[in-house]
Amino acid sequence: MGRATGVPVMAKQTQSQERARAAAGACRGRGMLLLSAVVAALGSLLFGFDTAVISGTTEALRQVYALNDNLLGFTVSSALIGTMIGALLAGRPADWWGRRPVLALLAVFFALSAVGCALAWNWHALLFFRWLGGVAVGGASVVCPMYITEIAPARLRGRLVAVSQLNIVVGILAAYFSNYLVARGLGAEHPQAWRWMFGVMTAPAAAFLVTALLIPESPRWLVKRGRRAQAEAVLARFGHEHPAGEAREIADSLKAEIAGARPRLFQRQYLKPLLLACMIGAFNQLDGINAVIYYTADIFRMAGADQTSALSQSVIIGFTNLAMTILAMALIDRIGRKALLLIGSVTFVLSHALAAWVFATHAQGWIVIVAMMGVVGSHAYSQGAVVWVIINELLPNAVRASGSAVVCFLIWVLCAGVSWSFPVVAARSGAYAFGFFALMMVLQFILVARFLPETKGVSLEELQQRLGAAD
């Protein structure tokens, strides 16, 4: 009797052990997936830091280099010239060498930019190192979300890519906060304070370089290069339930490319997803967010604040950005990308209208902070959270790298235009600038409601079929 009852007991024990091992493996996989997404998103943190750090230095740069509104705008936008180049060219090296080596190279560029800006011996040197940092930002805007999109399962893709946006926001907050600490520590009027503000970025750049060398390569890139066994191993490390089947699905979608064909981006097959991605990318800048991010301290000074107060108020804007981004991460895979864009369009219009009224009436005090919080918050939970997710979802596998590069190039062209022109326009009246942004958000609402499909919970391969872009 003992032997007869022992067999099922042992079988149950074995099954329990197998389930425990499977659960432990899945947990390790999720941990590796999250770790890799966070490491890649360090590039996005540096993206955000580099974007916002200039806001604390604009007044010092005016004085040190005797800059008028036009030259200040050019100095700020000089990084964006590099950003255009980085965004346009990053896709090809990412296809040649892999996503991981390019991430490491971008880390080197960030570090060199930070050190160079801190030690800049003249205006032209500052412009060069700002340009180099811009190249890194442009590359990061393409490669970081691309990598995360390609490692994430469909059910988690929105939240994991949103980690990239979260880190952009954390980087912006870190830049505002470090600018404030430097100003408090050295004094807002200290002649070397602006150099320390730039130099702080060296530390996260070094951390990014070290950790980027430790994460696995993108499984989709491995399949594209004919290294299917390695791709399956990476998918298994990431906790995918059926790594062999998923690798086979990826291989099928990339069959033409693996066979040697080089799909052209600009063909009818890819026109619809490319135009939709460009539309979302364009409104990402026409919502006015970077006018606020680059010139936060200037906006508060225009409203009557001194330098230290302006920097402290910038920190409030940074925390608003972070809080709304965290909210978006909780919502993006629940209510969807399209819904967030539509809701954000409405709050954008209201916030920009309030900001236009503030500058038209020369209002001061808390209403200025409320208006800027509204603009930044609207971006954070809508465009900010959605843009990098949906661009990489809309673009087909075979042309994702080149398509992302084109869209990001467009984004940074518009960003350069906005950042260069804003101080010139605002010198007349900030009402003109914010009124224009409000009109753009009305247009965004109309176009998104009419043309944009919902991508929540849909596999990348299925999206290709829906958009008529499948091979």
Distance CA 53, CA 76 (A): 10
CB neighbour list of residue 16: distance below 8 Å, 6 or more residues apart: none
Task: Give the pLDDT mean for 414-418.
Answer: 86
The mean per-residue pLDDT over the stretch 88-106 comes to 87
Given a contact cutoff of 8 angstroms between Cβ atoms, the answer to whether 321 and 437 are in contact is: no
Average pLDDT estimate for 29-48:
82
Query: What global pTM score does this model have?
Result: 0.72
Residue 402 is which amino acid? Answer: S
Cα dihedral sign, 62-65-70-76: negative
- Token reading at 71: 């030259």
**Would you say 83 and 141 are in contact if contact means Cβ atoms under 8 Å apart?**
yes
Query: Are the CB atoms for 253 and 237 separated by under 8 Å?
Result: no
Rounded CA gap, 216 and 434, in Å? 44
Among 27-31, 358-362, 410-414, 418-422, the range scoring the smallest mean pLDDT is: 27-31
User: Contact 290/419 with Cβ under 8 angstroms?
Assistant: yes
Q: What is the pLDDT of residues 212-249, one digit of tens each?
A: 888 888 888 888 888 888 888 888 888 777 788 878 87
Percent of the chain with pLDDT over 90: 19
| Three-state secondary structure readout of 178-243 | HHHHHHHHHCCCCCCHHHHHHHCCHHHHHHHHHHHCCCCCCHHHHHHCCCHHHHHHHHHHCCCCCH
Long-range contacts of 448-454 (CB under 8 A, 24+ apart): 448/280, 448/338, 448/341, 448/342, 448/345, 449/342, 451/276, 451/279, 452/276, 452/279, 452/280, 452/337, 452/338, 452/341, 453/276, 453/338, 454/336, 454/337, 454/338, 454/339
- What's the chain's average pLDDT? 82
What are 155-193's pLDDT values in tens digits? Answer: 777 677 767 767 888 888 899 889 889 888 887 678 888
Q: Say if CB 158 and CB 145 are below 8 A apart.
A: no
User: Rounded to an integer, what distance in angstroms lies between the CA atom of residue 345 and that of residue 437?
Assistant: 11
Q: Which two tokens stand for residue 108?
A: 């080197």
- Number of Cβ within a 10 Å radius of residue 242: 12
Q: What is the rounded distance in angstroms from the CA atom of residue 175 to the CA atom of residue 72?
A: 19
CA 343 to chain CA centroid, Å, is 20
Nearest to 352 by CA among 264, 258, 283: 283
Contact 142, 91 (CB under 8 A): yes
Residue 186's pLDDT is 85
Domain boundaries, the chain: 33-466
Highest mean pLDDT among 162-171, 285-294, 424-433: 285-294
Residue 437 has a pLDDT of 93
d(CA 291, CA 434): 10
Buried b (16+ CB within 10 A) or exposed e, 267-302: eebbebbbebbbbbbbbbbbbbbbbbbbbbbbbbbb
> Which of helix, strand or coil describes residue 55?
helix
349-386 residue pLDDT tens: 999 999 889 888 887 778 888 888 999 999 988 888 88
Residue 470's pLDDT is: 58
Q: What is the pLDDT of residue 1?
A: 47
DSSP H helices, 332-429, are 337-361, 366-381, 383-394, 400-428
Q: Are 232 and 247 spatial neighbours (Cβ–Cβ below 8 Å)?
A: yes
Return the amino acid letter for 155: R
CATH 1.20.1250.20 holds for 33-466: yes
The pLDDT tens digits for 323-335 are 988 888 788 878 8
Q: How far is CA 114 from CA 64, 104, 128, 375, in A?
A: 18, 16, 11, 28
